[in-house]
Amino acid sequence: MSTRVTIERMGAGGDGIAATSAGSTYVPFSLPGEVANVALENGRATLVALLEPSPERIAPACRHFEECGGCTLQHWQDSAYRDWKRSLVHDTLAGRGFAFTLDPLVPCAPQTRRRAVFAVRTSERGAVLGFNKHLSHELVDIVECPVTVPEIVARLDDLRELVAVLGGGMKPFKLTVTSTASGLDIVASGCGAPDAAKRQALTALVIKKDFARLSFEGEIIVEPRKPIVHFGKVPVFLPAGGFLQATLEAEIAMSALVTGHLAKAKKTIDLFSGSGTFTFRMAEKSAVHAVEGEQSAVDAMDRSIRHVQGLKPVTAERRDLFRRPFLARELKPYAGLVFDPPRAGAEAQAIEIAKSTVSKVAAISCNPVTLGRDLSILVKGGYKIDRVVPIDQFLWSSHVEVVALLSKK
């Protein structure tokens, strides 16, 4: 039995929200103002028939849209979609009572996502590679992906051959594929460690397909070429499974904001530095101390430091900033600081930064909620939010990257 509803607004997760006799319900793939018949179940709805479409509805860019759960907002006209995504940041931070200036959303183009995490499995009909259906564990096999770089999409069939050799039975596992300057870097996880015979077959296939590297949950299986990424002028050997910003365009935009904000600082610190995304760009103007919890990332920075000239001094340190945040007294030598933690944010570290004398801070997050919490700590500690910039690094999804620039007299 279906129910007629009117979509009142867009939820933070990218679903339309409609009022029903049982309360508010979430309607995936709908838009504000639309009238539809839906099937209701446990506070969620399935779109059965669209009765009155929104004038903002457009044709999706991908044939798999609504079937594949990788994107949820391809059907929304650009300007309305960008206004909504910007509002996610505004509403979250404004709810904290901050005074701040919010820039327009920095857009990212289709076909720029350089890392894809595919759900894969083997089947009686061959290897299946794609993404899980929206709010489901059902795997949708894909032939295209308009958000992902062509260097990956063009190799989908080659990747399926790799999946067939990796095996894993009918159980789904993951294949993370990153496009680098040296070729595709591939990480398999959840399929069981390959035995000697399988390693031999995988090695032969990787060499035949000219992939740069294949690893299994951090262990390198075969590496014909070291995967290289460039952070500014510096080539860096990306660690197996190492962090990388989703798109190069977003990385460049964020880096420009960070380096511009910290430009006058002679000594800076990069917390949660990864393999040097911001570190090496900052080092073009200031000495940088990079701090990261993953040893492989620290090692990657150390190798790059030894072979690059023309930068200010760069030092790297391994440290778990969740358990041992940099203390306020340790931050005394630094005039500029950037921190880019995981989605959980950096509450303990923010408390120490708030007590410090660092005059310029750049806070970066892919989660406006935890960013709001961390900014609240900094503001209470005397920092002023100079500027907030939302960046659409995760195109056609409800996720958004945010750069907040702060200062303290």
Which listed residue (62, 68, 145, 366) is catalytic? 366
138 is in an annotated binding site: no
Among candidate residues 236, 321, 240, the one with its CA nearest the CA of residue 280: 236
272 is in an annotated binding site: yes
Is 68 annotated in the active site? no
74 is in an annotated binding site: no
245 is in an annotated binding site: yes
What residue has token string 């001094």? 313
Catalytic residue annotation: 366
Task: Please give the annotated binding residues for S-adenosyl-L-methionine, written as ranges.
Answer: 245, 272, 292, 340
Task: Please give the annotated binding residues, written as ranges.
Answer: 245, 272, 292, 340
